[in-house]
Structure 1
Amino acid sequence: MIRLTICGIVSCLAIAARAGPSGQAPVTFKIVKESAGMTTAPPAVRVLTAAEQWTLREGRTWSGQNGREIFFTLVPASADAALPEVTVSAAGVQPVRVIVGKSDVPFTRQGDQVRFTLVRDTRNAMLLNQVLHDSEGGLPIHLYHNWLIRQDGPFHGKPVPRVEARAVPNYLVAAREALKLMGRTGPKDEKDFEGSITLMGFEVACARGHHDYPPHVHVMLWVPGYVGGEVPHFYLDAAGRIVRNSFGILGDEGGKFPDRGAVIERKRKRAGEYGPGKPCGLYDLKERLAVELTITEDGGLQMARPGALPYLLIADSAGADRGVLVRQGDKTLVRACVDDDAEKGLTVVTVEHLAGQKVVRTVRQEMRYDPFTGLAPQAAKGKP
């Protein structure tokens, strides 16, 4: 269920990342190095069998290496292309795993050459994400695990977005908590709009050409079939403050919903750049408001629902990378803090409920995952 949800989201946001030049789904694989370091010669891949049926997809985010991984993407000529045997040169490093998509495969090594056979796993080997569920009925959060050694695409050569990478999940959990307080937005709630408010982060790897830059927070509205969905991108500055919103509408590139043409045209009149003080409403296909989002002058995000007082997401006194507060008026209700150690494969979420300046209840979640696949051995568990 998690994989289908994520694939649906990625297919809408980054269609180019789904398929190679042949139109077929690519296969990305990686060699995991025993310890941090770069190869002493540029890594190269050689297709030993069925070579005429596979094409190397070159270029950043498709093929390359970082401190712990060598990765390549091959594109089949057809959906039933024979699975090839390949070798990868990995001079000067010790390979400990070969992962095709999300599947570990056996390999042999002779000198600098690592040899293995592809499997038909088209999952994106360089995209590490999970869904953080909420046992208290809140919205699921689509988290990207940003190990900063994977910084690629538009992030390559830029300052490491350490603060922003820590701040984004804090905003997402704070948004989940604010929406719970508003009510009628959760996955099992009776809603007064059609669709799902969706919370999602960003990825520094920009895997397979998904140029997810600069760092940002998504608070989106998915409608049935996605077409006509509304997608804000709340971009952060280097201090972790929200400074602008690039707002777009998902179109019908596949032509599956011709009856939505007029609706999409009306929606797109609202698309564009939103700065502080300009409300951005998210509306369903029948033009019913799900939530209104407004950036504040001090770098926060105000969230409002019809008939309810607004809530403010704002950095705590130590900065948004240390925690994000949920406030209503002059009252601080919640503090959200996420520590995602992508090298260890452990996410720890701490939500503190406050009355005045006092913490009256703390909820913690832990989510473990393989740092090279993003796959979890078990679902996240709430610990009141």
Structure 2
Amino acid sequence: MAASEGSAPAPEASVWPDDDRVMVLIKFLPQPGKDAGSKVAFVPESCRACTQLHDPAFERFNIRESVIQLRVPRGRFLELAFTAGNADAARAFVNDQELALTRTGGRITLDLPPLAEDAVWAGAFATEIVETGVTLRLEHGDPVRRAGAYASGDFPFVERRAADNLTFAQREAIRRLGLGDYVAREKIGQIMLMGFDTNFPAAHTDAPPHVHMHLRWANNIGTQISHFYIAPDGLLTVNKVGIRGFNAPGQTLGRGQALTTIDRMGRAVYTHTITAQGALTITGPDGKATCTLLPAGAGFHLGVRLACGSFPAVTIRVEDDMTAGIITVMTGPLREVLRYDPQSGNLLSVNQPVSSPASTLNPD
């Protein structure tokens, strides 16, 4: 029977098809130097086609942040509202992109841009540095954000320091072996340098402590992902390798066993070996040039002594000041300073080449 003239229309169903929705994490941060206070909460009436989820592997509340988990319609312009109560929520992020927000009393409103796929990395706390052929990701081990496998027990300070030092030492080895230039020139992908997260972002367990150096093939069609595990003494134990994109099982390689990383054509790009003493060697694609990464003391948490062929040996030490948002990298006498947002981890230091005057450029 048709509705009579002038009667109110029936309310639309609030459920949107799940196959046309994506997951998003929205991270709310307080004013710098302030605690987050109480939890930020989603206002369902602001988006009846959205659903708030409460998976503890994604949702997060601590004095640093509120991380809200939602399923939202794919590819839509959405204005979302949240209640803040007495929470200090001055900033909002999706992945590493900051969104403008409006706060009126205890209500927050923000415009969510159209999303084509899941956007769940707002829960991470890391700084990324991109160079030719290489992406370096340094995770900040904040005990206040500890979660997942690191939620309780002794916090892995030694392993976290070792991972920082090893990550930048591998970066230096890549430069001395010419690997970044090589993978860029051959167009075979990007070398990824990473440590381990201690805050369980987006259900990423990332335990036990380890470092990575793997080649992500072009178009992300495959990779061999090494996990060089770090013992509580700051030395390396085994390399557990996950293989994606081609039909091969994972591997576990102990001390003295080598893993050669290949490109999509099956060519050797570099080889890692954990030594009998828990150190590390990296050999270039020609199988001749080798860098040795030795602990500068009892373990890698005290630094890395890097020796690469005819290059002078250097000691590499990394300091991460999470209060000031400063990463200091000492490579022998060379001191690098990288500044980042101490709340989000986003790199603040300029990471783009200096432009040349137009009058000096040669035409293509």
Q: TM-score, normalised by structure 1?
A: 0.75
2:222 is matched with 228
Answer yes or no: is the 8 Å Cα contact 1:31–1:69 preserved in 2. Answer: yes
Matched, 1:301 2:280: yes
Residue 132 of structure 1 pairs with residue 129 of structure 2:
yes
Equivalents in 1 of 2:40, 2:134: separation in Å? 43
Asked if 1:73 is matched to 2:69, the reply is: yes
1:374 maps to: 345
- Matched AA of 1:297: A
Cα distance, 1:241–1:46 mapped onto 2, change above 3 Å: same
| Aligned positions of 1:341-380 closer than 5 A | 341-352=321-332, 362-379=333-350
Q: Superposition pairs for residues 217-256 of structure 1, below 5 Å?
A: 217-251=211-245
C-alpha separation in 2, matches of 1:173 and 1:29:
28
Residue 166 of structure 1: SS of its match in structure 2?
Answer: helix
Hey, what does 1:29 align to over in structure 2?
27
Report the Cα distance in structure 2 between the residues aligned to 1:364 and 1:116, rounded to whole angstroms. 42
- What is the letter of the counterpart of residue 97 of structure 1? A
Matched, 1:210 2:210: no
| Match in the other structure for 1:43 | 39
Distance across 2 between alignment mates of 1:34 and 1:198: 31
**RMSD of Structure 2 on Structure 1 (CA):** 3.1
Is residue 138–residue 179 contact of structure 1 (8 Å, CA) maintained in 2? Answer: no
Distance 1:108 1:239, change over 3 A: same
1:67 Cα deviation from its structure 2 partner = 2.9
Q: Say if 2:323 is the partner of 1:323.
A: no
In 1: Cα distance, 2:19 partner to 2:139 partner: 26
**CA drift at 1:381:** 9.5
Aligned partners of 1:199 and 1:219 also within 8 Å:
yes
Of stretches 72-81 and 342-351 in structure 1, the one that deviates more from structure 2 is: 72-81
Equivalence for 1:178: 173
Q: Deviations over 1:23-43 (max 9, x none)?
A: 51414121426667685xx73
**What displacement does 1:51 show?**
3.9
Q: Which of structures 1 and 2 has the bigger CA Rg?
A: 2
2:154 maps to 1:156: no
**Mapped partners of 1:377, 1:150: distance in 2:** 21
Q: Whole-Å Cα distance in 2 between the matches of residues 381 and 82 of structure 1?
A: 32
Alignment of 1:54-73 (within 5 A): 54-73=50-69
Counterpart Cα distance in 1 of 2:141 and 2:327? 11
Aligned length: 328
Quick check: 2:325–2:341 contact (8 Å CA) kept in 1?
yes
CA–CA separation in structure 2 for the residues paired with 1:197 and 1:48: 42
The 5 A counterparts of 1:181-192 are 181-183=176-178, 185-187=179-181
Query: Which of these residues, 105, 124, 143, is aligned with residue 138 of structure 2?
Result: 143
CA shift digits 1:217-247 (9 cap, x unpaired) = 1110122112221111111112221111110
Identity of aligned residues (%): 24
Cα shift readout 1:324-347 (whole Å, capped 9, x = no counterpart):
111359x97121111122232111
After the TM superposition, which residues 4-15 of structure 1 pair with which residues of structure 2 at under 5 Å, given as runs? none
Structure 1 window deviating more from structure 2 (297-306 vs 100-109): it is: 100-109
SS in 1 for 2:180: coil
Preserved contact between residue 188 and residue 263 of structure 2 (Cα < 8 Å) = yes
Q: Secondary structure at the match of 1:374?
A: coil
What CA distance in whole angstroms lies between the structure 2 residues aligned with 1:380 and 1:195? Answer: 20
Q: Distance in 1 between matches of 2:182 and 2:258?
A: 27
Partners of 1:21 and 1:157 in 2: CA distance: 37
Shift in CA distance, 343/250, structure 1 to aligned 2, threshold 3 Å: farther
User: Displacement of 1:291 after TM fit?
Assistant: 0.9
**Shift in alpha-carbon separation, 1:226–1:213, aligned structure 2, 3 A:** same
Question: Residues 293-343 of structure 1, C-alpha deviation per residue, up to 9 Å, x if partnerless?
Answer: 1112222111123341432212111532231111359x9712111112223
Aligned partner of 1:195 in structure 2 is: 189
Which amino acid is 1:304 matched to? T
TM, length-normalised to structure 2: 0.78
Please tell me whether the aligned partners of residues 47 and 78 of structure 2 are also in contact (alpha carbons under 8 angstroms).
Answer: no
Check 1:21–1:71 CA distance in 2 against 1; reply closer, same or farther (3 A cut): farther
8 Å Cα contact 1:26/1:76 also seen in 2: yes
